[in-house]
Amino acid sequence: MDRTRILWYEHAGRHGRGGRVSDQYITSEDHLPADTSGELTLQVMDQATKHIFRTRARIARDPDGLTDPDPLTILRGPHENREEQWYIEILETQVEEPSVDEETLRACLEETREGSDVITARGEDVKTLVSYLVETGEYSSVSNAVRSLLRDHLSEIRPELVERYVDLRTEHEREDLELRLSGGDDE
């Protein structure tokens, strides 16, 4: 193959999928939906460039079920130290981040401020794993562990939601402070 064709192949990607340098991808089991059949949107990392992006794709354990499969390593376990080999067929790489419904977020913030802030997560698996993290001293309490883990996870998978929440919360706290300083609130 001549040099021009090799460069196109390496830098334009097979079948014109554009911008791909490697054909090996990595994702965490945390990014996989419960149902992995059919088309799905997930976050993957290009193994060669370390570029992280959201993609619309199909995945399978067996490459025969996909039209144009590339290797996909799924990292599993609490420390993501177990690897499982799957395959991915990338359908689209320019996938929009889920938008934030600001009115719903604002309503949730108000509801939480006025009501209970207790979250229950029933499940033996979660309770066992979180209890282990507390018992081994990684976290000071179950509630601290759940808050930290959930905050970290949301910051990773929905950064725009966390950012907008912080903005709304700051705005709300500023309004509360202004109201109190102006003498408008008796609390």
Distance (Å, whole) CA 30 – CA 149: 12
With b for 16 or more beta-carbon neighbours within 10 A and e for fewer, the 69-99 pattern comes to bbebbbbeeeeeeeeeebbbbbbebeeeeee
- Residue scoring higher pLDDT (56 or 14): 56
pLDDT one-digit tens code per residue, 117-148: 777 766 777 888 888 888 889 889 888 888 88
Tokens 């990607």 locate to 13
Distance CA 73, CA 26 (A): 5
> Is residue 187 in some structural domain?
no
Residue where a domain stops, chosen among 63, 92, 121: 92
Q: Model pTM greater than 0.75?
A: no
3 pLDDT above the threshold of 70: no
Domain boundary among 92, 124, 148: 92
Do residues 129 and 173 share a domain? yes
C-alpha 162/C-alpha 168 separation (Å) is 10
